[in-house]
Structure 1
Amino acid sequence: MTDLLPWMKEKMDKYGGLVALYTMGQPTVITTKPEYVEVILTSTKNIDKGPEYKFISEWLGDGLLLSTGDKWKQRRKMLTPSFHFKILENNHDCMNKNWKKVVKTFLDAKGAPVEPLQIMGRGALDIICETAMGTILDKDDGGEEYVANVKRTTANSVQRALRPLYRSMTVLRLTPFGRQYLKDIDNLHNFTEKVINQRKSAYLEEKQLQADEYSESDGKKPQVFLDSILELAQQAGLTNDDIREEVDTFMFAGHDTTSTALQFVLLRLGENPEVQEKAYQEQLDIFGYSDRDVTKEDLNKMHYLDLVLKECLRLHPPAPQIARVLREDVTLPNNMIIPSGTKVLMNFFLMHRDPENFPNPEKFDPERFTHEMSKNRHPYSYTPFSAGPRNCIGQKFALMEMKIGLSTILRFCKIRAVTRSKDLKYRLEIILKPSTPILVEVTPRN
C-alpha cells in the first residue's frame, strides 16, 4: 500500500493530473487537478460514493457517510442543525476538560517517547461521546479497545477491497483474518449500542421533565446530536439499526480524523521549533501564564495557529482521497467527457502538493495560508474536508476541537519530534496512515 502514492504521483506528473484506467474491471479516472475536482464535487447529481466504500458498510451501515439519494438528503438536512455554531459554543467546557487530560497523560510520560495518536484518539473519543452523544465515558469503559478496533477495521476494510477472495462473506468467515474482522465489527457495534442505550434512558427521562424542549432562542438547553436521532426515530419510525448506523458514523468520523490530523501537527511542530515557538508566543499573548480554559473569543485571536493547522491539513489531509461513481456524464474544463458509470478518484494528498498552487510543496510553511499568499490560489486546490454538497458536516466542530487541543498542548508542553516526516511513507486507507507509528517527546513548558 505504501507504493501506491509514488505510482500515482508518477502518473499524475506524466499525464497532467488526469489518468484513465480500469481498476477491478471498472472504468476509473484519477485526478489531482482542482479545476477537475471542482466539477465533480459541486455536482448535486454525482454524489454516489465509490464501490470500495461498501467494505465498511458492515460496520457503518447506510448512514450519512455511505448513503445517497433521498435518504442522504433527508439525513443531511436533519443533522445539519446539530452542528450550528451556537450549539458548538456549548461544547467548549468539554473540549477544554478533555484536552487537559491529554496534556496530563503526555506529561506523565516524563519526556519518554510517546505515540500521540493513541493518547489523542482517546481524548477525541471522550469529546465526541460527551458533546455529540451526551454520554460521559468512564475510565475503564472499553474506550481504548474501541479506538484499537477502529484502527484495525479501517485497515482491514481496505484489505477486503484489494483482495477479491475477502469480498465474499462466506470466504471471510472461514479465514482468521475474516473472523478477527467480524469480531472487531461486533465489538464496535456493542460499544455504540451501549452509548445509545445510556443516552436513550437519559433522553426519555429529560423528555418527561420537558428539559429538552427548549430552543436556542429562548435560552434553554439545545439537543445533542444523538437526541436529534432519537427524536427522529420517534417521529419517522427509525429502527435501532438506523440509529446505530448514524452513531457509528459520527463516532468514527468524530474522533479518528481529528486525532489523525493532530498527530501530524505535533510531528511538524516538533521538527520545526521556530514555528512551534511562534505559535506558543501567540498563546502567551492571549493567555499570559494563566491556565484558564480557551473561550470563543480566544479562538478568534489565534491567527497564526490557524495558519499552522491549515498547513498541516494541506500536507496530511485525514481523508487523503475520495471516490465517486458518476450518475451522469461530466464535461471537464478541457472539454473531455467522463461517461456515466465511471469511478472518479480524487486524490487530495497529491493535489495539495501541486507546485502550481503550492510552490516548493514539501516544505512546511504556514505563511503560505496568509491572505496575500492565498488570494490567487484556485479555491478547490485545498480541500481537507472535501467540498460541495457532500462536504464534511462536522468540519466546524473538528476545527474548533483541534484549535482548543493545540492551544492547550502548546501552552503546557514543549514538543520534540522523534520520528521525522522525511522518513515517512503513507498508506491510503480510509484515513491517512503513516507507514510507521509517529513518536514525539513531550516535556513541560515551564
Structure 2
Amino acid sequence: MAALVAPKDMNFYGFLKPWLGDGLLLSSGDNVNIMHVKWKHLCVEGSAHLEMFENISLMTLDSLQKCLFGFDSNCQESPSEYISAILELSSLTIKRSYQLFLYLDFLYYRTADGRRFRKACDLVHSFTDAVIRERRRLLSSQGVDEFLESKTKSKSKTLDFIDVLLLAKDEHGKELSDEDIRAEADTFMFGDESHDTTASTLSWILYNLARHPEYQESCLQEVWELLRDREPEEIEWDDLAQLPFLTMCIKESLRLHPPAVDLLRRCTQDIVLPDGRVIPKGNICVISIFGIHHNPSVWPDPEVYDPFRFDPESRQKRSPLSFIPFSAGPRNCIGQTFAMNEMKVAVALTLLRFRLLPDDKEPRRKPEIILRAEGGLRLLVEPLSGGA
C-alpha cells in the first residue's frame, strides 16, 4: 500500500500526544559495559539464567538518555525518577489500548490511570524543559562558536540530540521552538526508534543466537577478527560496516521477531488491490509486519532462522517491501540507523564476553505495542574466559 496515501492513524498515536507533542512519531558502548558488569556479578556460580527484556531495556534507556541529553542516568545501577516515568507511560499506554471505552480522553483522564499518566507526563516534560532551558541559556551567553568549542572539549566530545535541535534552522532561518524540541526529544525516548523496540529486538537476537550456536560462533569469530590485538575492546564507527554476518543475523531476527508486529494507516484515497477489490478512502488499515515477514510465498520455511536469507545475492531477488521492520515509505522510522548501530555494538560486545544458551522453557510470543515474550525471555548466560 502506498505510504503516501495511507498516513499514520491517530487513534492510538493520539494517546501519546500529551507526552510526545507533535514529534516525528506523531505529525552506546559504555552502557553495554555497565550491563555486562551486572551480568558477571550475577554469574556467581559460573552461569546465570537472566531475563533479557528487563536487563536490556534499562541499558537502551541509559544509552538513549546519554545520546539525547548528554546525561548519565545511571538507571542500570540505581532508580531514576525520569526513567521510572518513561516506563510508566509505556505501561499505561499499552493498558489503555485494550480498553475501548477509555479511548475517549474525557473519560480516560478521570480514571486513576489517566491521572497517573498526566503526572508522569508532567515529570517527563519538566525534565526535558529544564535541559532545553539550560542549553539555550548557555548558547545565548556563549554564542555558537564558543558553545561548539566547549562541546568538543567536553568528556563526550560531541553534540547530543538536544544540541543539534537547538542549532537547527529551517530554510528560512527559523529556529525550532522549545515545544518543538521537547516533542522530538520525547518522541525519540518512546517512539518506533526507542528503547523498547531496540530492547525487544536485542532480546530476540540473543535468543536466536542462543538457539543456533553455529551462528553464534560465526558472529564471535567475525568480531574477534575485527578487534584482534585491540585493547581495550571498543567498537568504533568504522567497524560497524565490517560485520556482515552479524548484520545478517540481526536482520533475520528482525524478520522472524519484528519488534512492531503491525502498522495502522488511514487511507487518504481509494486503494485498488491487485484482485480488483477497493479499500475505500477513510478506512483504517492494519498492515501486518509479522504476517509479511512470515509469508511462505515470500519467505520459504518462514519459521526457520536462516541468516543467509540476507546475503547480498538473496536480497536482490526480493521486493524491498518484503522486509519492513522499520516500516516503509516517507513515514518510516527515523531512528533505524541509530538502532541498527546500537544493536551491532551491543551484540558484538555481548558475544565477546558471554556464551548464550537457551533456557529450558521455550518462550511464547506476546504482541503488545512491541513483541515481547509471555512471562519474559530467559537465557542462560556464561562468562567467557578472558572477556573484558
TM-score (norm 1): 0.75
1:118 matched to 2:51: no
In 2, Cα distance between the equivalents of 1:200 and 1:442? 45
- The aligned residue for residue 288 of structure 1 is 228
1:445 corresponds to which of 376, 384, 387: 384
Cα shift readout 1:273-309 (whole Å, capped 9, x = no counterpart): 2221121111122223644311233222211101110
How far is the alpha carbon of 1:398 from its aligned partner? 1.1
One-letter code of the match for 1:248?
D
Cα distance change on mapping 1:371 and 1:243 into 2, 3 Å: closer
In 2, Cα distance between the equivalents of 1:340 and 1:274? 49
How far is the alpha carbon of 1:141 from its aligned partner? 9.9
How far is the alpha carbon of 1:64 from its aligned partner? 0.9
In 2, Cα distance between the equivalents of 1:165 and 1:308? 42
User: 3-state DSSP class of the match of 1:212?
Assistant: helix
1:224 corresponds to which of 129, 138, 160: 160
User: 3-state DSSP class of the match of 1:442?
Assistant: strand
The CA RMSD over aligned residues, in Å, is 2.9
1:242 corresponds to which of 180, 193, 200: 180
1:40 matched to 2:2: yes
Structure 1 residues 272-421: aligned runs within 5 Å: 272-288=212-228, 290=230, 291-418=232-359, 420=361
User: 3-state DSSP class of the match of 1:114?
Assistant: strand
How far is the alpha carbon of 1:209 from its aligned partner? 5.2
In 2, Cα distance between the equivalents of 1:191 and 1:440? 35
How far is the alpha carbon of 1:373 from its aligned partner? 2.9
1:167 matched to 2:80: no
One-letter code of the match for 1:66?
L
One-letter code of the match for 1:186?
D
2:20 corresponds to which of 60, 78, 84: 60
- The aligned residue for residue 39 of structure 2 is 106
Cα distance change on mapping 1:46 and 1:273 into 2, 3 Å: same
In 2, Cα distance between the equivalents of 1:419 and 1:233? 54
Cα shift readout 1:318-344 (whole Å, capped 9, x = no counterpart): 222111111222223333322210111
User: 3-state DSSP class of the match of 1:268?
Assistant: helix
How far is the alpha carbon of 1:358 from its aligned partner? 1.2
One-letter code of the match for 1:154?
S
How far is the alpha carbon of 1:406 from its aligned partner? 0.8
Cα shift readout 1:158-181 (whole Å, capped 9, x = no counterpart): 432332332334433443333333
Structure 1 residues 83-98: aligned runs within 5 Å: 95-98=28-31
In 2, Cα distance between the equivalents of 1:439 and 1:148? 23
- The aligned residue for residue 428 of structure 1 is 368
| Bigger mean CA deviation after superposition, 271-280 or 309-318 | 271-280
In 2, Cα distance between the equivalents of 1:197 and 1:377? 48
One-letter code of the match for 1:250?
F
User: 3-state DSSP class of the match of 2:355?
Assistant: strand
User: 3-state DSSP class of the match of 2:348?
Assistant: helix
Cα shift readout 1:174-212 (whole Å, capped 9, x = no counterpart): 433333333333333344334434544554455365342
Cα distance change on mapping 1:126 and 1:271 into 2, 3 Å: same
In 2, Cα distance between the equivalents of 1:139 and 1:379? 38
Cα distance change on mapping 1:208 and 1:304 into 2, 3 Å: closer
Task: Extract unaligned runs of 5+ from structure 1.
Answer: 1-38, 68-94, 215-220
In 1, Cα distance between the equivalents of 2:311 and 2:318? 11
Question: Is the contact made by 2:68 and 2:162 (CA closer than 8 Å) also made in structure 1?
Answer: yes
Cα distance change on mapping 1:211 and 1:152 into 2, 3 Å: closer
User: 3-state DSSP class of the match of 2:286?
Assistant: strand
User: 3-state DSSP class of the match of 2:380?
Assistant: strand
Cα distance change on mapping 1:242 and 1:289 into 2, 3 Å: same
One-letter code of the match for 1:284?
W
Cα shift readout 1:12-42 (whole Å, capped 9, x = no counterpart): xxxxxxxxxxxxxxxxxxxxxxxxxxx323x
In 2, Cα distance between the equivalents of 1:418 and 1:265? 14
User: 3-state DSSP class of the match of 1:426?
Assistant: strand
- The aligned residue for residue 154 of structure 1 is 90
How far is the alpha carbon of 1:52 from its aligned partner? 1.8
In 2, Cα distance between the equivalents of 1:296 and 1:277? 23
In 1, Cα distance between the equivalents of 2:300 and 2:64? 36
Question: Is the contact made by 2:23 and 2:180 (CA closer than 8 Å) also made in structure 1?
Answer: yes
How far is the alpha carbon of 1:148 from its aligned partner? 4.6
One-letter code of the match for 1:414?
R
- The aligned residue for residue 254 of structure 1 is 194
Aligned length: 372
Cα distance change on mapping 1:57 and 1:136 into 2, 3 Å: same
**Percent of matched pairs sharing the same residue:** 31
Cα distance change on mapping 1:199 and 1:129 into 2, 3 Å: farther
TM-score (norm 2): 0.85
